[in-house]
Copies of this chain bind each other. A is one copy, B any other.
Amino acid sequence: MKTPSRKMDHLRITLLQDVEAGSTWFEYVKVVHRAAPEINMKDVNTEIEVFGKKLKAPIIVTGMTGGNENAAKINATIAEVVEELGLGMGVGSQRAAIEHPELAWTFKIAREKAPNALLIANLGAPQLLKGYGIKEIRDAIEMIDADAIAIHLNAAQEAFQPEGDLDFEGLISKLAELIDSVDKPIIIKETGAGIDYDTALMFRDIGIKAFDVSGSGGTSWVKVEMYRALEKGLEELAKAAEWMSDWGIPTAAAIAETRAAAPEATIIGSGGVRTGMDAIKALAMGADIAGLALPALKAAYRGKEELKKYLKAMMISIRAAQFLTSSPTPKDLKGKAVIYGPLKEWLIERKVYDLWLGSWRRTERI
């Protein structure tokens, strides 16, 4: 039972160690205040409709866990809270339960505790490449009666796992084959290293309509694997992981790259989202939903109330920002970011700046 034990390592390490690295580059984003917003707060609506569900605010807890008892408890806590607040959540990779059906309850508990909330199933790209197909995808969705399924890209993590799945070739064509047979939306999801323009473009071209960018600046899976490598005495691997722990595209840049490649897609802006201000910046950079994982895990570990308070503060922040930027809906926050420093230099160097400014930006003044 290798997967479950690795999953337990992960929970333990992310809870006890410093697993964050790099920067989201949100420090190079400001959202433009409107002194006279000409709006009534009662007309500010933070709700969004996404994947067939209505969310009270554009916030989700992204997929983390499942597969063991502790994980089930965490899934239950998160589920109760998002149900209560009208938000959404993902579960962690369901591979363990696919391979060991007796573990399915640790995921199903999410739907039990959250009968109405948006739930996102989760499988890893490496599994698709090692034989998983339409059956497993359907199983994963059905297992939790999911509203969508995230296929996670975690190449950076796999590269630093001694037991890593290191074949990422053919994923696009594999997905291209499957996509029409899956009746729930497929979300292409990174896990902390960020989606780049080219990757987003390739997936958009085969019909993918949703992305979770999960950029760098928050939880670093390279760093998590560094701790595991150290525990296993794999010094060279640990050293390489330490050196590369801030690998990836900072979240603010990843949102812009993905938005530039897929102007119509549903984009979850995540990776290092820690405060309400981060969430607002993610939305203003072009995300439809802000996502977070690690802080939700830590809060859930301290209890349901902690998590509720934390997410509520995020909801209040977004409502306030919509009010203060004259944005009746969360979508209206888009294009209200002003960027500078390395973030702007990056977008220009990458030739995505103009594409990103794209359609939503206010037209030139004169």
Binding site for B on A (CB under 8 A): 30-43, 125, 153, 155-156, 159-160, 164, 166-172, 188, 190, 193-196, 198-199, 202-203, 216, 235-237, 239-240, 243-244, 247-249, 275-277, 280, 309-310, 312-314, 316-317, 319-321, 323-324, 338-342, 344-346, 349-352, 355, 364-365
Contact = CB atoms under 8 A, between A and B. Distances in A.
Nearest to A154: B35
A339 to B, nearest CB: 7
Contacts of A36: 125, 153, 155, 168, 171-172, 188, 199, 202-203
Contacts of A155: 34-37, 323-324
A316 B225 CA distance: 14
Contacts of A39: 168-169
Contact of A34 (B199, B236, B338, B352): B199
Nearest to A22: B30
Contact of A38 (B172, B235, B275, B342): B172
Contacts of A30: 249, 346
Contact of A168 (B38, B195, B314): B38
A340 B351 contact: no
Contact of A35 (B199, B321, B341): B199
A341 B351 contact: no
Contacts of A317: 240, 243-244
A160 B320 contact: yes
A39 B248 CA distance: 17
Contacts of A243: 275-277, 313, 317
